[in-house]
Amino acid sequence: MTLLLLAALTLWPRPAYEPVRTEDAARVQELVRGFESRSVRRAQDAVRLRAEDVIPGRFVVGVEPGAADAAAAFAVCQGGTVVRDATEAGFIVVEFPAETDAAPLGQDFETLRGVRYFEPDCRVRICLFPNDPLFASHQWDKWLMYADKAWDVVSGTGVKAAVVDNGTDYYHPDLAANFNTAELGYDFISNDTDPRPDDLSIPQAFHGTHVAGTIGAVTDNNLGVAGWAQVQLQAVRVLDDSGNGNTSDVALGIRWAVDHGADIVSMSLGSQSAPTALVDACKYAEDRGVLLVAASGNEGDPDINYPARLSQCVAVGATDSLSRRASFSNYGRQLEVAAPGVRILSTAPSSQYGWSDGTSMAAPQVSGVAALVMAANPGLSAKQVRGILSAAAIDLGTSGFDQHTGYGLVNAGRAVELAGEVAAKLSSQPGPRVRVVGTEGFQVPEWAESAEVHDALGRTAASWQTGTDRLVRLKPGAWFVRLSGSGRTARMKVLVAR
């Protein structure tokens, strides 16, 4: 088996490995400034609705605090039904008969005090490319991206990654250990806490499980495939088993992941429309320091799908085994990086494994590498992680950034090295990110309003809210802390001495 694998790997020669250069750290900061300025240019994130994506009779009503009840009552008076109360996210979802004329109805809604917008809900679907039954049974993609060099340094523990998709078979023996049974995720299709697909026999029901395995299948367990990072996985089901859904549920899925401590939200799905609820959710995540990674789409067009097209997201394109843009991969000026998306082997429901193509398979590669970068330097912001992924990428095609492969092929080895380089730069700044504290625990900084502590497996060990003693008592060992407050967030590694 080993000889066969080594022989097969020669079919995909790796690009020349480049060590981290001194100027790369400066490049990260330059890219971070670029992301910040891009986020300011909200015109790029304007709401876009395409007629083909509109779900007849289903509308999203954006409401100010306190206005939801009046909007819901008005909907009922007009013959509608409230099917989703998402006031915590700033909207409700209402349904009317499919033949309802939306224009006058929208005008009536928008005259109500506290209504911000009235828009159709839109279809969203997985970015899937059909399977090829002759795919080779090994993970050439991770070898090509220098996983071996990254894994020599870090495993990815202490990071939470949410898979916003069509559900994950968390019973899979190659995934179960990286799920927390007390927080498996959430199912916005069935509105319960069981985010497993309902019918595993449906062909596309494999999708979320495949994506989750690429990010976080258990590594070094003598079973199946190796995932990129040993993260705590969260399954957020926003699409049905066939891979169809709506943008309002995607928006709620993003918000759920952010509110439940996700560091990374991976989205292998897309739409040609970006309603306000989806744009707001991505801004919500960005404002709270959560990294959003999304697939560019599989139409082979110069038109990146949403949400990847939004400035808050890392838009990921797919490459083939020769590191060329995959023919199906969407491209454009919003594309940020590329990763293998052809003949990708990963987990499938019912303890199985399978191969698939698509930018759906490329996006979780980047999410997994991002988790390694975060684990290597817990003090990095989401924008700094984005900068590292781009600065460390292997340039492909036209020199520098290009619209077909972005900044290039994500290089896990260089990215982890560069995270260490940036950590050295940060260590000279006030407020070290790695702290050795006394034998009792650590003192929460004055600016923080809340803190959540995780162990190396991503399990919650302690939490703290403002108004109580700022000393969080912990047993000796290494802990990962997420701080929030005053409009900012921070992560740090805490070492409690014996």
Residue numbers annotated as active site = 165, 207, 360
Interior/surface letters 10-33, b for 16+ CB within 10 angstroms, e for the rest: eebeeeeeeebeeebbebbeebbe
Within 8 A by CB and 6+ apart from 228, the residues are 142, 147, 156, 214, 215, 216, 364, 365, 367, 368, 369, 371, 372, 412
Tokens standing for 155? 């495993």
Contact between 120 and 246 (Cβ < 8 Å): no
d(CA 272, CA 123): 9
Within 8 A by CB and 6+ apart from 420, the residues are 153, 376, 377
Tokens standing for 162? 């949410």
User: Could you give the angle at the alpha carbon of 265 between the alpha carbons of 263 and 260, nearest 5°?
Assistant: 55
Tokens standing for 420? 């260490």
d(CA 195, CA 386): 28
User: Could you give the angle at the alpha carbon of 44 between the alpha carbons of 161 and 384, nearest 5°?
Assistant: 40
d(CA 338, CA 406): 7
DSSP bridge partners of 317: 338
d(CA 169, CA 207): 10
Sheet holding 460-465, edge to edge: 434-437, 488-496, 477-485, 450-454, 460-465
Residues composing the chain: 498
What single-letter amino acid sits at 15?
A: P
Within 8 A by CB and 6+ apart from 290, the residues are 257, 258, 262, 263, 264, 265, 382
d(CA 372, CA 154): 6
Nearest to 425 by CA among 393, 388, 474: 388
